[in-house]
């Protein structure tokens, strides 16, 4: 079993709000963060909409030198980390630095820097490429930059598992504390891949919504009219602490990080296992790890991408685990509001679960209008629902067949 683990700090930057309270307000209002893309002209693309972060100013969180030397995904990670640490009241000092670690991942990494510096190479020659190019593109630099900024000298690695990245990062950090490798871990995911090339690639896959005339209604998980996911950018970072350490310093504990399950579909590079086997096994492993029965789960934050395959097969996986009780479990996809934050999704959605436990309200799935006969569970349509949640689950699945499940429990 190992050490108990507390979740004591929340840091989020999303298309519907920066900081836990603004983010939560967006969820409770059922507000979509999807708009026509402004970072570049999307007119030539089949999909012209995305979940951009409005008005993000990195200089509010770091000096200008740090901004220039870091890709946007690292800037978002640094900013969300500052929010999480401020929220927790936890101080990293020379006395505890070697017991504080960082695991922050990204599905894609420095996509913006890749494209910008490639243009520099073609237009101005190799001598004008930034000397920071290599350090700006690599995924591990989010963990590295956070460690440097805060003096965290404990375990420091990165996770890359596509859209399961944030879930895996938090789960692996949870394990590090359980094994007494650290007393606290800064963990989660960050993504800033809204670039012309990334958008073109996802458009070519025919996996994204083309509802350009109604951006706010484009993401509609589990609904009959869904036509694909919508890309977004953001970061979700949490602080995990060894339970007794958190109690000794009088920390506010949002939830106990209670269980973690991971598996592989071993089926296809993009499509989920058609039987929902990999996802179901990861769910079962997480529940067993937490020592809870399926019926004890009071809320599932679904992966719910709004793609035809994912939503149907996630529904199937839930049915495989819960059986006849599946229709009694409240489920929602907050991606209906945030859009799909790719490698950051698991971190942001773990924050949503922690706040649902703390505040006794379940976020809705917005844009749910016409039920899909193959997605016939309780998806908390359109409006939040008051409910006491003792156990919440966060699902994250990624291209390549990666599955990561987190179980959070009410503090006791």
Q: Which residues are catalytic?
A: 163
- In which residue are the tokens 């309270």 written? 21
8 A C-beta contact, residue 392 and residue 298: yes
End-to-end CA distance of the chain: 17
The Cβ of residue 140 has, within 10 Å, a number of other Cβ atoms equal to 17
Contact 404, 254 (CB under 8 A): no
Element (H, E) at 242: strand 234-242
Report the alpha-carbon distance of residue 97 to residue 374 in Å, rounded: 50
Residue with tokens 């995990």: 240
Cα–Cα distance for residue pair 318/330, rounded to 1 Å: 11
The tokens for 5 are 């683990």
Q: Name the helix (H) or strand (E) containing 111.
A: helix 111-124
Strand, coil or helix: what is 18?
strand
| DSSP output for 217-229 | GS--TTBTT---B
> CA nearest 168: which of 402, 356, 333?
402
In whole angstroms, give the CA distance from residue 157 to residue 162: 16
Q: Quick one: which H or E segment has residue 196?
A: helix 196-205
Closest to 220 (Cα-Cα) out of 341, 344, 311, 329: 311
Sign of CA dihedral 247, 249, 253, 259: negative
> Residue 38 is encoded by which pair of tokens?
């402004």
168 Cβ contact partners less than 8 Å away, ≥ 6 residues apart: 105, 159, 161, 262, 346, 396, 402, 404
- The Cα 410–Cα 393 span in angstroms is 12
């Amino acid at each position: 079993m190992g050490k108990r683990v507390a979740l004591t700090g929340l840091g989020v930057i999303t298309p519907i709000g920066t900081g836990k309270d603004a983010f939560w307000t967006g969820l409770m209002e059922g507000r979509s963060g999807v708009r026509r893309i402004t970072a570049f002209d999307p007119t030539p693309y089949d999909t012209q909409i995305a979940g951009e972060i409005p008005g993000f100013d990195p200089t509010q969180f770091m000096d200008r030198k740090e901004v220039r030397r870091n890709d946007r995904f690292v800037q978002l990670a640094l900013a969300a980390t500052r929010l999480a640490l401020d929220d927790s009241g936890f101080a990293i000092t020379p006395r505890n630095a070697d017991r504080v670690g960082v695991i922050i991942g990204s599905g894609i990494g420095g996509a913006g820097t890749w494209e910008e510096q490639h243009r520099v190479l073609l237009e101005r020659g190799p001598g004008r490429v930034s000397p920071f190019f290599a350090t700006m593109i690599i995924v591990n630099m989010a963990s590295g930059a956070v460690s440097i900024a805060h003096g965290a000298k404990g375990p420091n690695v990165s996770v890359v598992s596509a859209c399961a990245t944030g879930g895996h990062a938090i789960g692996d950090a949870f394990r590090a504390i359980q094994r007494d490798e650290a007393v606290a871990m800064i963990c989660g995911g960050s993504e800033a891949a809204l670039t012309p090339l990334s958008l073109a690639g996802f458009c070519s896959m025919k996996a994204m919504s083309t509802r350009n005339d109604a951006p706010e209604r484009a993401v509609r998980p589990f609904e009959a009219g869904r036509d694909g996911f919508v890309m977004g950018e953001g970061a979700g970072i949490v602080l995990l602490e060894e339970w007794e350490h958190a109690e000794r310093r009088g920390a506010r504990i949002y939830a106990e990080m209670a269980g973690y399950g991971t598996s592989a579909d071993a089926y296809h590079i993009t499509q989920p296992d058609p039987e929902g086997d990999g996802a179901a096994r990861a769910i079962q492993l997480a529940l067993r790890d937490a020592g809870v029965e399926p019926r004890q789960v009071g809320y599932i934050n679904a992966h719910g991408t709004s793609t035809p395959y994912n939503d149907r097969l996630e529904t199937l996986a839930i049915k495989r685990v819960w059986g006849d009780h599946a229709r009694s479990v409240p489920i929602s996809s907050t991606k209906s509001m945030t859009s799909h934050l790719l490698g950051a999704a698991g971190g942001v959605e773990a924050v949503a679960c922690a706040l649902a436990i703390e505040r006794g309200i379940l976020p809705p799935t917005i844009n749910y209008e016409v039920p899909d006969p193959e997605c016939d569970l309780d998806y908390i349509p359109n409006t939040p629902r008051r409910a006491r949640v003792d156990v919440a689950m966060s699902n994250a699945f990624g291209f390549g067949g990666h599955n990561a499940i987190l179980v959070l429990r009410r503090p006791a």
